[in-house]
Amino acid sequence: MRKIKPWLQNLFLMLAGVIVGLLIVETFAITTGVATPQKSKAQIFYQFIQPDTQLGYKPKSNLKDFKTVWQEAKVTEIANTDSYGFRNLGRDYTKSNLYFIGDSFTWGQWVNEQKTFPRLVEAKLQQPVINLGVPGYSFAQYETLFNEWIAKYKPQRVVLSIVSNDLTNYSSDIGQKIYNTLKQRSFSPWYEKSFLYQFVLKNNKTSLPAATANSIYKEAKNGLTLFNLGLAAPESGVGVDSDYLTSGGVVKVEAALTRIINLTKKNQVKLFVFLVPSKESAYIKDYAQLFPESVALLKNEEIGYQRLCDLAKSQDITCVNLTDDFRKNSNQEKLYFDIDGHWNAAGHQLAAEVILNTLNHNS
């Protein structure tokens, strides 16, 4: 049998030592949490949802202090859900006379649950409020929620919160498409979970690449990151679809709102519609300075919202566009997170005040 040369034997021993050393470092890093991978937004979202035949997906049931962290945006959320997957732990659906339906703004993305506008309204009214808001939902799911919950329990009042990215040319199976996309994007190769990969990633990747002249986002003077609507693809989730008013989107959305209005009237439930401004619209002056060439695209949101309010009011439904309130208060304090496009606690507080005034005025 041929004897291994000393230099080759030493090389093998050296490689073995390196591998053993890496395994020791990897084990230590994993057990101490140093090697926790940076999750993408898709991975963050996918980890707390489950498939649903009617809605496409919904939050997992009975979550207890479920923590999600988006490191790039420096935001954290703790979620607790009931047996239905909603943020209504300990509340009786049959005894509440006020329901909220919406998307991540109504859910309260990245905000302590007690500081979300549904819970702030609940505290002021001193009566249980049911929150059916779920991140990523839009009109297709709103209709399902109205049919499944409002028609069943018939609360006295229901608040529908519409956001700018609800104004899209959606399909009825949009929930399933979102779930499938998140599932696909949430997969990451095994090596991306290693300490070495994470160490290199953390030391060579900033939270956001530097903005350029044609960047899809730029930072305003107040520190808020705003997105260029002119570079956002249709159905990207960033604001209103650029072709919303000229495509079939406007017809679908307004038809969906009409069906929701008819359902509430049929079940003798008083409907309130609130329109949530995008961060770009709320800080329109900053947006105009950063992206003067695409400021006209904000008209899609303004016109789309006006059409929805006109439709609602023609059916004697209270409709409130929150845009003016947020623009008036935008110079006083930040109402949205720096990078993420959702309201911070101050934004939820302002929304709760307007909603409470509206509810009390129409009681």
Pairing assessment for the beta strands 66-70 and 75-79 based on DSSP bridges: antiparallel
Report the pLDDT value the prediction gives residue 207, as an integer from 0 to 100. Answer: 47
Q: How many residues are there in the chain?
A: 363
Report the pLDDT value the prediction gives residue 205, as an integer from 0 to 100. Answer: 47
In degrees, rounded to 5, the angle at the alpha carbon of residue 131 between the alpha carbons of residues 85 and 145 is 70
Report the pLDDT value the prediction gives residue 309, as an integer from 0 to 100. Answer: 98
Side chain identity at residue 185, one-letter code: R
20: three-class secondary structure by DSSP:
helix
CA–CA distances in Å: residue 192 to residues 40, 63, 173: 12, 27, 32
Greatest Cα pair distance in the chain? 95
**Span 84-94, pLDDT tens digits:** 999 999 999 99
Distance, in Å, from the CA atom of 322 to the CA atom of 281, rounded to the nearest integer, reads 11
Report the pLDDT value the prediction gives residue 332, as an integer from 0 to 100. Answer: 87
Which DSSP category does 293 fall into? G
Domains along the chain?
Answer: 41-191+206-361 (3.40.50.1110)
Report the pLDDT value the prediction gives residue 7, as an integer from 0 to 100. Answer: 65
Report the pLDDT value the prediction gives residue 170, as an integer from 0 to 100. Answer: 86
CB hemisphere CA count around 171 (13 angstroms): 7
* pTM: predicted TM-score of the whole model, two decimal places: 0.85
Report the pLDDT value the prediction gives residue 37, as an integer from 0 to 100. Answer: 52
* Helices and strands (H, E) in the chain, number of each type: 14, 11
Distance, in Å, from the CA atom of 217 to the CA atom of 223, rounded to the nearest integer, reads 12
Question: For the chain, what is the radius of gyration of the CA atoms?
Answer: 24
98: three-class secondary structure by DSSP:
strand
Report the pLDDT value the prediction gives residue 30, as an integer from 0 to 100. Answer: 46
Angle of helix 195-204 relative to helix 6-32, nearest 10 degrees, comes to 70
Report the pLDDT value the prediction gives residue 199, as an integer from 0 to 100. Answer: 47
In the chain, which residues have pLDDT < 70? 1-5, 7-13, 16-39, 41, 187-214, 234-236
Distance, in Å, from the CA atom of 157 to the CA atom of 270, rounded to the nearest integer, reads 5
